Structures are given as structure tokens and as C-alpha cells.
Amino acid sequence: MKLNVDALRYMSKDDFRVLTSVEMGMRNHEIVPAELVDRIAGLKHGGTYKVLKNLLKHKLVHHDSSKYDGFRLTYLGYDFLAIKALVNRGVFASVGRQIGVGKESDIFEVATEDGTILAMKLHRLGRTSFRAVKSKRDYLLHRNSYNWLYLSRLAALKEFAFMKALEEHGFPVPNAVDCNRHCVIMSLVQGYPLVQVKQLQNPDNVFETIIGLVIRLAEHGLIHCDFNEFNIMIDDNEEVTMIDFPQMVSVSHRNAEMYFDRDVECIFKFFRKRFNLSYREDTDEHDGSDSDLEDNGRPSFSSIAKSTGHLDKDLAASGFTKKDQHDIEKFIDGGIDEDENTSDDEVSTDTNCPRDEGYGDVDGHLESLHMSHQSVDLEPTVSCNDNDKVENL
């Protein structure tokens, strides 16, 4: 999605006040009546209505009169609120080019005051192509708390908490810098998604490293659930970094073994196809004494899960609650409830279907840049706070 932050520079305190009021109204309204926005914002002399017009012009809110007359935030409006909050906090100072686009996110470069480039991931849960949406939409529509703002924020919060915990336990992940609303700021990974890599000096080493990561994750109590060539970055030294964590589950999840096997299978399949490697798939090599491997050479979930750490439990204590996990699992196919009616193509439970398939760029070029390399300085003149309290604006 195009992210033009030009308008951000010209936004006044009142603009942000009204935008934040729309956000607050959306906590319990799908569409927020203008009178309510006005009441929350508390601007004098009908100021809210004038500002709403301006926000509408810049596509930060959307006017909706389908059910009743009112406004809702657009992705861009929500982006502005998050970006402003992070800029005010001094996390970064300018937004640059887009470096990635997924089904559920847009990734941009941002620069700090001293010129360090970081990655900004804007979560877009509820984007229409999202696979699980279809089956869940009706259900979700009736629950105000499940709108895309909430889900995207939850995804960001989860990703941030997991990235931080994984980093602390020595996993090769980006450095988790900060998080606000649906936005995660992390270090920029040098290198490319594995899907773009045509040749490796040491495919065996890379393969072993990657499978080792799936195993080590499980030993720490976690399963990535979307572990594939789109979410593994590799640099010129063939060092591996894993990314993309909103769908991770605990090894105690009822479908844990299936997710684990699926992650493993994706890697086996990719390396077999791309690098023509066959890994100890010959069952004759196994006499059954190697308890960590299945007969087909795959790591065995049941023997690994025995020796689990409890990163999954630590994470539950880190502010990302059980309810959060439950809510997000309702939406992400990594944790779709099988008892619920889901039809054919919505939820993949087979072992060879990376969720990300379809947007990797095999020519080694990242997604085209909507921002045309230019950076825009954002002057932190308005103090938008993190607690969404309009009073503090």
C-alpha cells in the first residue's frame, strides 16, 4: 500500500486530536458518528467538522454512510498515528522506501536522527486477501473488539514480544526496537529472503542451520508456523535471520505437531527443489536408534517436545496475554480452530503450503518502491502520546 507521509508534516495539533478521537471512537463503533468525534475531541466552534473535512481530503479517515453517517480511520490514518507517536518518541525521524509487501503487512525503511536505517513493519490484518478472513468475517463483524485495528495492533504486539524474547535467547532475529499500535520497528536485515536466492556456497550448512532453528525453537517451547523461504533472510555470508512472528504458537498448542511438521516439510521441500538436495530420506540409514529423527529423516516433534524450555510461558507473562493469543489465533491460519466450519481453500492443513506463497520476487529485486527513495523529514511538533489519551495531545 502506498504510504505518502508528506501530509504528516503539515498536520496540526487539532488534526491529530480529531484523528485520535476517531480512533478512540472506533473502540466501540465500526463507524464513528461525527457528533461523537466532536464530543471526544472537544474543539471549540465546530472545529472538529472542519478538521474532519481536511482529514477526509488526505484520506486519513473514510466517510461512511452505508449504515449510519460517520467516519472511520483508514490504514493511512492509523499509520500516521503510529508513525507520529514513534517519531515523537525519537525512535526514527524519517520514512523512506518500501522494502517489502506481504499479505498482512507493508515494510518500509525508516531512518533515525543519526542516519541509521531501520525497518518498519505496518501490520494489515484484515486485508481482504488474508486467507482466514473469509470464514471469520461474519463472526468478527458482530464483535466490535475484533476489527482490523485491534487485530493489526495485536499482531504487532505479538510480533514485537516474540522477536524480543527470541533475540534474548540468542536466536537470529532482527533487533526489536519499538512498537506502537500496528507498527513494529526493528533492525534492517541485510540480505534477501531465501526465495530469491538461486545459489548457495554451502547449501548443506544453510539447510542444517535452518532445520536446527526449527528444532531449537521447539526446544524453547515454540513453533514458527510460517517457517519457509519467504520468512528466512540470508546474507552474503550465508548467515540466516528469521522474520515474521505473528502466527507463532506454543508447543502445547493442540495442533503443535502438525505445525511443526509443516514447517520442517517446507524447508525440506524447498531445499530439495531449489538446491536439489535429498536429506537422509533413505530409511535404510536409520535403525531407529536415532530418537530425534523420524524414519523419513525429519526431526521428530514428540522427542523434541519432551525437552522443551518455557519461552512460550515466559511470553505469556510478557504482556502478550492468553486472551490476546486466543483472539489472534482465531484469525491466523497458524492457529485456526478445526472444529469451526471452514471451507476448502481458506485453511491449509497440508504440509507443503507456505502461507506467504505468491508475493516473493524471484528476480532478486524487492517490491517496487512507492516512495521513490526520497526521505521525508517528520518534524515532531505535535506530541501524540502512546496511551491514546486525547487529553494529553
Residue with C-alpha cell 482529514? Answer: 55
Distances (CA, A) of 54 to 4, 26, 59, 63, 271: 16, 19, 9, 12, 52
Contact partner, 188, from ligand ADP, Mg ion, none, Cβ < 5-8 Å per class: ligand ADP
The angle at the Cα of 284, spanning 279 to 288, to the nearest 5 degrees, equals 95
Please state, in angstroms and rounded to a whole number, the distance separating the CA atoms of residues 206 and 204. 5
Q: Which of 59, 63, 103, 216 lies at the binding interface for ligand ADP (CB under 6 A)?
A: 103
244 near ligand ADP, judged by CB under 6 A: yes
Site for Mg ion in 232-261 (CB under 5 A): 244
- For Mg ion, the closer CB: 152 or 231: 231
- Residues 6 or more apart from 278 whose CB is under 8 A from it? 272
Exposed, middle or buried, 391 (CB in 10 Å: 0-12/13-18/19+)? exposed
Q: Which of 25, 77, 102, 354 lies at the binding interface for ligand ADP (CB under 6 A)?
A: 102
Contact partner, 104, from ligand ADP, Mg ion, none, Cβ < 5-8 Å per class: ligand ADP
Site for ligand ADP in 118-137 (CB under 6 A): 119, 121
Nearest to 104 by CA among 120, 126, 83: 126
Residue with the shortest CB distance to ligand ADP = 102
Q: 3-class SS at 21?
A: helix
188 near ligand ADP, judged by CB under 6 A: yes
CA 156, distance to chain mean position in Å, is 6
All cell numbers assigned to 54: 481536511
Stretch that binds ligand ADP, among 34-42, 82-90, 97-105, 291-299 (CB under 6 A): 97-105
Q: Which of 11, 51, 107, 176 lies at the binding interface for ligand ADP (CB under 6 A)?
A: 107
* Residue of 38, 79, 178, 226 marked catalytic: 226
Stretch that binds Mg ion, among 68-76, 109-117, 330-338, 356-364 (CB under 5 A): 356-364
Nearest to 75 by CA among 144, 130, 148: 148
What is the smallest separation between the CB atom of 293 and Mg ion, expressed in angstroms? Answer: 28
228 near ligand ADP, judged by CB under 6 A: no
193 near ligand ADP, judged by CB under 6 A: yes
Contact 8, 92 (CB under 8 A): no
Look at strands 183-187 and 176-180 and give their pairing.
antiparallel
Among this protein's residues, is 226 annotated catalytic?
Answer: yes
Segment holding 377, helix H or strand E: strand 376-377
Q: Which residues sit at the interface with ligand ADP, rule CB under 6 A?
A: 99-100, 102-105, 107, 119, 121, 174, 186, 188-189, 193, 230-231, 243-244, 356
Which active-site residues does the annotation give?
Answer: 226
